[in-house]
Chain A
Amino acid sequence: MSRFLNFSIFRYNPATPEIPPRMQDFQLDETPNMSLFIALNRLREEQDPSLMFDFVCRAAVCGSCAMLINGRPGLACKTLTQDLPDKITLMPLPVFKLVGDLSVDTGVWFRGLNENLEAWIHTDKPFDPQGLEDRMDNPTAHAIYDAERCIECGSCIAACATANMRADFIGAAGLNRVARFLIDPRDERQPYQVFEVVGTDEGVFGCIGLMACDDICPMEIPLQQQLALVRRKMALASLKGK
């Protein structure tokens, strides 16, 4: 039996501030294997061409389409309507600046985060185009890959109580990024140098342990473990110093 889905979608266009933010209702017939990617595009093409939302890869690898789906942050492209009740409420992610309707500006936020964390390999070693690559054991490569799988979708930030209260908290995505560089032997930063950046309430000690990030990460990155790793390393670094 096909269902009629009742969508309630947040609407606001900054170009028309005289129309206040509101929820708008739409109806759509459900088709087999319908994802929110398919549903939202149909709503735009068939019912309201001004509806704003972001999709890029539609394959759950680019991180563009995170939104609040019945109150829970997640990637719209991989959310199937068959897994939802027939009343579906869609809201933009909190914390991030609103572009319009369901579209938020995660790009500028994450660029700022990566600048603050200096999230790149710090090394004084010059690159030798003629030389072989430095060796690395495969389990280390896999461990870095595990952390590097973060797609910066912002779900963990939107779900985080601290990030919602404290604009400068780096959140699980930031802490996971710190972990990624801490375990990378190519990065020559010492733990005490990292401590100077994240050994604060805006960093690793701001987490109040609700762990919603770990529950909702669409990439299923073990954020709780990553957070624990960073906390342990930072606690040690604060004791040991230089």
Chain B
Amino acid sequence: MKWSDAHLTDVLVIGAGLAGERVAIEAATQGHQVTILSLVPPRRSHSTAAQGGMQASLGNVAMGYGDNPDIHFADTVKGSDWGCDQEVARLFCNLAPVAVRQMAQWGVPWSRVVPGKRLLPEGVEVEELQEKAGLIAQRQFGGTAKWRTCFAADGTGHVLQYAMDSVVVKLGVTVHDRMEAIALIHDGEHCYGAVALSLRDGSLRPYLAKAVVIATGGYGRIYGVSTNAVINEGTGMSICLDTGVVPLGNMEAVQFHPTGIVPAGILVTEGCRGDGGYLLDKNLHRFMPDYEPVKKEVASRDVVSRWMLHHMSKGLGVDSPYGPHLWLDIRHLGKEHICVNLREVHAICANFLGIDCVEELIPVRPTQHYSMGGIRTDVNGAAYGLQGLFAAGEAACWDLHGFNRLGGNSLAETIVAGMVVGEQVARYAGERSLEFPFALVADAMAAQEDRVSKLRSRSGGSEDVYRLRKGMEDALLNNVGIFRTGEALEKAVSILQELYQRSANIRLRSSGLGPNPELYAALRLPGTLKLALCIAQGALQRTESRGSHYREDYPHRDDENWLKRTLAYWPPGADMPRLEYEPVKITELPPGDRGYGGMPIKGD
């Protein structure tokens, strides 16, 4: 490496989805030089796939009148099953309306309130008032007391990302796409930058910055079936874990979305149910009111997913070559509503199921969707363990979501966290001078060059990267799903430990030269296996049920022993994570009843 190959910047943002770009905008607006690294061009980030919307308590629609940040806060805390950080949740709920309105100013074509009376699918008549005409419209999402989810048809993530990126382009922020950060440069106290791998040609390059921000999203793809984009392998989380000093919080908190289509696993938005869609079983019976008489299909995602699996375990699922599923029925919403407010769902059904969802039922099943856990940060987004390292969005455990995220709170989190963390990053970078720790950079580069050249020399063992990855995907899918038991979790841990050992002996079948996907997969796999072990081990040790973490052998929430957050560290050279725990901050709302999902639910 030539020293002049190093890229110097004030702020290095890793990840160009909504959270990363919002941080970048804040820092750039305050006069810092910002460089964004991204696996893909920003407008291809997984944020663009978010459909349904973004929660903010505007109170613009009839079913949302009287809404305010207090109600949003209570919904969020209940949704999290009291696992969230209430200081963060309060900050978030207060700022979400500002975030939505700023995105309007930046060009998001939010759907708007049309005054007049209309009949909701269940027969209730509501009237949208003239005085609210043209304000941002809101729809219902699960686990909320008010209709609060702002939307642009069902392409909300797409239009948010395009508006956000338009500001990045306007500000001239540097973006290096097809670059993957594969190691952080640090001395155990400070983070100085990252070593990045070019996905264009397989070369390595160091990036040095006063502040480094991880905004790489979730790890959904380490599960065999996920709604996530194929780039979501948790790489940002694993390079933090690799430092040995930065912990990941609540990795056992994994969200399964009720409506992934079968078999492709592609998401259809919660807006389908929020707008009045039903879940039906093989007898075309609408079963959710049997289990949740009040919230019905719009209880929180963890609860609806559990009831769906429970219902299928009674033999009431629809048989298919891809295993049992249930039906999502939106036909009664009518063609006009579907082709306007749910048009991307309509397209997905046509493209990937070959059906017209105006006329036909949609086959669905709960599918891995979101990681509540991630890089543990304080309320300012500063990562535990290393100064100068920050995280935001799904990659972070800021901890807005605790053990279950509400639909519509992730898009909102990416932008609000981007604002808050961006402000802190800008302040931090303003107080520091750029350092070039030559020895650290040389060592970090040499370590990664060594990994790459060993793989390219094909001198190691005989393990196939794709086979090992398949083993990891299956271990998580089969043993660390919606219903969990001590026995299955122990099995997962032991399989994953073995795979982790074997991942040191990967041998490439191809040359590994140039933009080589096998090399990239081989470099990633040990890190993703570490994440898988944090998830499985965290779930095994947590002997209670809370939100999405449901233990059949411990079916109740246990606030006495488990009102705490898991912190997973990976000591250098270890073969397992070390788990520690910290208390959950309760500032306003003491633990109580969620109002849904109250009784123990059985799996199969």
* Residues of chain B lying within 8 A (CB to CB) of residue A119: 166, 169
Instruction: Kindly identify, within residues 68 to 127 of chain B, every residue whose CB is under 8 Å from any CB belonging to chain A.
Output: 98, 100-102, 104-107, 109-114
Given A145-B153, A145-B159; A134-B348 close (CB under 8 Å): no
Q: Are B158 and A151 in contact (CB under 8 A)?
A: yes
Q: Please give me the residue from chain A that is nearest to B228 by CB atom.
A: A57
Q: How far is the CA of A175 from the CA of B556 in the complex (A)?
A: 58
B1 at the interface (CB under 8 A from A): no
Among listed A10-18, A160-168, A189-197, A234-242, interface-contacting one: A10-18
Among listed B43-51, B379-387, B425-433, interface-contacting one: B43-51
Q: Are A120 and B518 in contact (CB under 8 A)?
A: no
Given A16-B514, A120-B107; A136-B351 close (CB under 8 Å): no
A99 at the interface (CB under 8 A from B): yes
Query: What's the minimum C-beta distance from B469 to chain A, rounded to whole angstroms?
Result: 9
Q: Please give me the residue from chain B that is nearest to A117 by CB atom.
A: B169
Q: Are B515 and A15 in contact (CB under 8 A)?
A: yes
**A-B pairs with beta carbons under 8 A, tally:** 198
* Residues of chain A lying within 8 A (CB to CB) of residue B170: 118, 120
Q: Are A56 and B152 in contact (CB under 8 A)?
A: no
Query: What's the minimum C-beta distance from B121 to chain A, rounded to whole angstroms?
Result: 20
* Residues of chain A lying within 8 A (CB to CB) of residue B134: 135-138
Query: What's the minimum C-beta distance from A60 to chain B, rounded to whole angstroms?
Result: 6
Q: Are B162 and A135 in contact (CB under 8 A)?
A: no
* Residues of chain A lying within 8 A (CB to CB) of residue B348: 59-60
* Residues of chain B lying within 8 A (CB to CB) of residue A118: 170
* Residues of chain A lying within 8 A (CB to CB) of residue B158: 61, 148-149, 151
Contact of A142 among B106, B169, B340, B511 (CB under 8 A): B340
B489 at the interface (CB under 8 A from A): no
Query: What's the minimum C-beta distance from B51 to chain A, rounded to whole angstroms?
Result: 9
Q: Are B105 and A14 in contact (CB under 8 A)?
A: no
Query: Chain B contact residues (Cβ within 8 angstroms of A): what range?
Result: 35 or more
Given A129-B102, A135-B135; A63-B43 close (CB under 8 Å): yes
Q: Please give me the residue from chain B that is nearest to A152 by CB atom.
A: B43
- Per-residue contact bits, chain A 123-163, to B (CB 8 Å; 1 contact, 0 not): 10101010111111110011011001101100000000000
Q: Please give me the residue from chain A that is nearest to B263 by CB atom.
A: A33
Q: Are A57 and B152 in contact (CB under 8 A)?
A: no
* Residues of chain A lying within 8 A (CB to CB) of residue B508: 49
Q: Are A13 and B515 in contact (CB under 8 A)?
A: yes
Contact of B107 among A56, A78, A186 (CB under 8 A): A186
Q: How far is the CA of A108 from the CA of B178 in the complex (A)?
A: 10
* Residues of chain A lying within 8 A (CB to CB) of residue B267: 59
Q: How far is the CA of A200 from the CA of B352 in the complex (A)?
A: 41
Q: Are A56 and B40 in contact (CB under 8 A)?
A: yes
Query: What's the minimum C-beta distance from A3 to chain B, rounded to whole angstroms?
Result: 18
* Residues of chain A lying within 8 A (CB to CB) of residue B162: 148
* Residues of chain A lying within 8 A (CB to CB) of residue B44: 56-57, 62-64, 107
A205 at the interface (CB under 8 A from B): no
* Residues of chain B lying within 8 A (CB to CB) of residue A115: 169
A52 at the interface (CB under 8 A from B): yes
Given A49-B509, A141-B110, A145-B155; A58-B229 close (CB under 8 Å): yes
B136 at the interface (CB under 8 A from A): yes
A121 at the interface (CB under 8 A from B): yes
* Residues of chain A lying within 8 A (CB to CB) of residue B136: 133
B184 at the interface (CB under 8 A from A): no
Contact of A120 among B46, B48, B114, B166 (CB under 8 A): B166
Q: How far is the CA of A13 from the CA of B167 in the complex (A)?
A: 35
A48 at the interface (CB under 8 A from B): yes
Q: Are B229 and A57 in contact (CB under 8 A)?
A: yes
Q: Are A56 and B231 in contact (CB under 8 A)?
A: yes
* Residues of chain A lying within 8 A (CB to CB) of residue B440: none
B292 at the interface (CB under 8 A from A): no
B517 at the interface (CB under 8 A from A): yes
Q: Are B517 and A44 in contact (CB under 8 A)?
A: yes
Q: How far is the CA of A197 from the CA of B322 in the complex (A)?
A: 53
Q: Are A59 and B102 in contact (CB under 8 A)?
A: no
Given A13-B514, A133-B104; A61-B344 close (CB under 8 Å): yes
* Residues of chain B lying within 8 A (CB to CB) of residue A105: 178, 200
Q: Are B152 and A62 in contact (CB under 8 A)?
A: no
Contact of A103 among B43, B175, B202, B515 (CB under 8 A): B515
Instruction: Kindly identify, within residues 124 to 173 of chain B, every residue whose CB is under 8 Å from any CB belonging to chain A.
Output: 133-137, 152-153, 155, 158-159, 162-163, 165-167, 169-170
B486 at the interface (CB under 8 A from A): no
* Residues of chain A lying within 8 A (CB to CB) of residue B98: 129
Q: How far is the CA of A60 from the CA of B343 in the complex (A)?
A: 13
B266 at the interface (CB under 8 A from A): yes
- Per-residue contact bits, chain B 36-56, to A (CB 8 Å; 1 contact, 0 not): 000011111110110000000
Q: Please give me the residue from chain B that is nearest to A54 by CB atom.
A: B40
Q: Are B518 and A134 in contact (CB under 8 A)?
A: no
Q: Are A149 and B105 in contact (CB under 8 A)?
A: no
Q: How far is the CA of A129 from the CA of B265 in the complex (A)?
A: 39
* Residues of chain B lying within 8 A (CB to CB) of residue A73: none
Q: How far is the CA of A14 from the CA of B42 in the complex (A)?
A: 24
Query: What's the minimum C-beta distance from A35 to chain B, rounded to whole angstroms?
Result: 8
Contact of B321 among A32, A50, A55, A152 (CB under 8 A): A32
B201 at the interface (CB under 8 A from A): yes
Q: Are B49 and A57 in contact (CB under 8 A)?
A: yes
Query: What's the minimum C-beta distance from A216 to chain B, rounded to whole angstroms?
Result: 15
* Residues of chain A lying within 8 A (CB to CB) of residue B579: none
Q: Are B109 and A141 in contact (CB under 8 A)?
A: yes
Q: Are B515 and A78 in contact (CB under 8 A)?
A: no
Q: Please give me the residue from chain B that is nearest to A16 by CB atom.
A: B513
- Per-residue contact bits, chain A 81-109, to B (CB 8 Å; 1 contact, 0 not): 00000000000000000011001011110
Q: Are A138 and B137 in contact (CB under 8 A)?
A: yes
Q: How far is the CA of A44 from the CA of B436 in the complex (A)?
A: 40
B516 at the interface (CB under 8 A from A): yes
Query: What's the minimum C-beta distance from B376 to chain A, rounded to whole angstroms?
Result: 27
Query: What's the minimum C-beta distance from A150 to chain B, rounded to whole angstroms?
Result: 9
Q: How far is the CA of A110 from the CA of B107 in the complex (A)?
A: 18
B466 at the interface (CB under 8 A from A): yes
B510 at the interface (CB under 8 A from A): yes
Q: Which of A62, A100, A106, A120 has the most CB of B within 10 A?
A: A62
B177 at the interface (CB under 8 A from A): yes
Given A15-B515, A50-B516, A110-B41; A62-B48 close (CB under 8 Å): yes
Q: Are B231 and A13 in contact (CB under 8 A)?
A: no
Q: Are B178 and A99 in contact (CB under 8 A)?
A: yes
Given A62-B49, A119-B169; A51-B517 close (CB under 8 Å): yes
* Residues of chain B lying within 8 A (CB to CB) of residue A52: 515-517
What are 9 A-B pairs at a CB distance below 8 A?
A49-B466, A50-B518, A59-B264, A59-B266, A61-B158, A62-B49, A107-B41, A132-B101, A137-B134
Q: Which residues of B contact A (CB under 8 A)?
A: 40-46, 48-49, 98, 100-102, 104-107, 109-114, 133-137, 152-153, 155, 158-159, 162-163, 165-167, 169-170, 175, 177-178, 200-202, 229-231, 263-264, 266-267, 321, 340, 344, 347-348, 351-352, 465-466, 508-511, 513-518
Q: Which residues of A contact B (CB under 8 A)?
A: 13-16, 32-33, 35, 44-45, 48-52, 54-64, 78, 99-100, 103, 105-108, 110-111, 114-115, 118-121, 123, 125, 127, 129, 131-138, 141-142, 144-145, 148-149, 151-152, 184, 186-187
Not counting A57-B48, A62-B229, a sample of 20 additional A-B residue pairs whose C-beta atoms are within 8 angstroms of each other reads: A15-B515, A16-B514, A49-B466, A56-B230, A57-B49, A61-B158, A62-B43, A99-B200, A107-B44, A111-B169, A114-B166, A121-B107, A135-B134, A135-B135, A137-B133, A141-B109, A141-B152, A145-B153, A152-B41, A186-B105
